[in-house]
């Protein structure tokens, strides 16, 4: 299979998805397809259900109706064994890392290994050390607890845990939220480097315009309870939807575009 063919292969296919809580409808017959090997950014205004969509895809929230296929499997009708097998192919970085506070960084990373695999403590420790290094943390972070880490280090530790099982798809929920511009840029670079090195598909919920410009192949805009627009950022920016115009054409959107253009000219951007 050629690289071009792989990029057209859909690893996530969502059709007619309806989600909601009580009388509140979040998504109304939403459609979305994610291609293998791409970095897709999901954006939208407050209350459009970006995180709800992510959690629905990974089976933390049950939809009211619709279909979700992951790697060609109906993700809404898996038995327990099938669900566990699928979970091993997915990695998730929740907001602020969502680490277990009573565990060290190494123990956090080893948790999914022990849940899914029968391996020795020595091998689990070795894998944890490798993932810590991959995430850009110093090895001595292994023995630290989440409360002893900075916000950026917690994000990296959470990413290391997300990569523990060598997943094919990584879900990132606001990965750069709370980071200063330098820390956010470095985290973007890390994500892009890992995606290219490991051949990951990255599903990223974010409001960070710089991240969208730097590392995404396509973006999907949630509005009016559906995917209102999807495509490369240059194409989506031309969409006439009022929220899209306000988001991308406002002062912050223009600044992010200029900043990314400068990075591309310097040879450090995605393009």
Give, to the nearest 10 degrees, the angle between helix 105-116 and helix 151-162.
Answer: 20
From CA 28, how far away is CA 17, in angstroms rounded? 6
Q: How far are the Cα atoms of 52, 205, 228, 232, 247 from residue 221, in angstroms, in the given order?
A: 14, 10, 6, 11, 11
Q: What domain count does the chain have? A: 1
- The reply to whether 219 falls in a domain is yes
Low-confidence stretches of the chain (pLDDT < 70) are: 1-7, 97, 250-271
- The reply to whether 235 falls in a domain is yes
- The reply to whether 144 falls in a domain is no
- The reply to whether 206 falls in a domain is yes
- The reply to whether 242 falls in a domain is yes
The pLDDT of residue 269 is: 53
- The reply to whether 53 falls in a domain is yes
- The reply to whether 127 falls in a domain is no
Helix (H, G, I), strand (E, B) or coil at 265: helix
- The reply to whether 117 falls in a domain is no
Query: Residue 35 maps to which CATH number?
Result: 3.40.50.300
- Which residues constitute the domain of residue 208? 3-89+167-265
Cite the DSSP H helix spans in the chain.
3-8, 50-57, 80-87, 105-116, 121-134, 151-162, 181-198, 209-215, 233-236, 242-249, 251-265
């Amino acid at each position: 299979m050629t690289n071009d063919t792989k990029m057209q292969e859909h690893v996530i296919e969502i059709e007619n998805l309806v989600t909601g809580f009580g009388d509140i409808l979040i998504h109304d017959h939403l459609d979305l397809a994610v291609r293998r090997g791409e970095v897709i950014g999901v954006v939208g205004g407050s209350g459009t259900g970006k995180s709800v969509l992510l959690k629905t895809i990974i089976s933390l929230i049950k939809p009211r109706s619709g279909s979700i296929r992951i790697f060609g499997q109906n993700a809404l009708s898996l038995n327990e064994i099938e669900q566990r097998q699928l979970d091993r192919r997915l990695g998730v970085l929740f907001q602020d890392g969502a680490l277990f506070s009573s565990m060290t960084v190494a123990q956090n990373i080893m948790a999914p290994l022990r849940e899914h695999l029968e391996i020795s403590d020595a091998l689990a420790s070795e894998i944890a050390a490798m993932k810590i290094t991959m995430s850009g943390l110093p090895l001595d972070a292994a023995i630290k607890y989440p409360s002893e880490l900075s916000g950026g280090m917690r994000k990296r530790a959470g990413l290391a845990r997300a990569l523990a099982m060598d997943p094919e798809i990584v879900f990132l929920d606001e990965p750069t939220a709370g980071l200063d511009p330098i820390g956010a840029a470095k985290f973007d670079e890390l994500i892009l480097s890992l995606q290219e090195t490991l051949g990951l598909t990255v599903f990223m919920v974010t409001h960070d315009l710089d991240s969208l410009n730097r590392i995404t192949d396509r973006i999907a805009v949630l509005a009016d309870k559906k995917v209102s627009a999807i495509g490369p950022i240059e194409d989506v920016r031309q969409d006439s939807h009022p929220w899209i115009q306000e988001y991308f054409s406002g002062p912050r959107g223009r600044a992010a575009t200029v900043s990314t253009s400068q990075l591309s000219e310097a040879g450090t951007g995605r393009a």
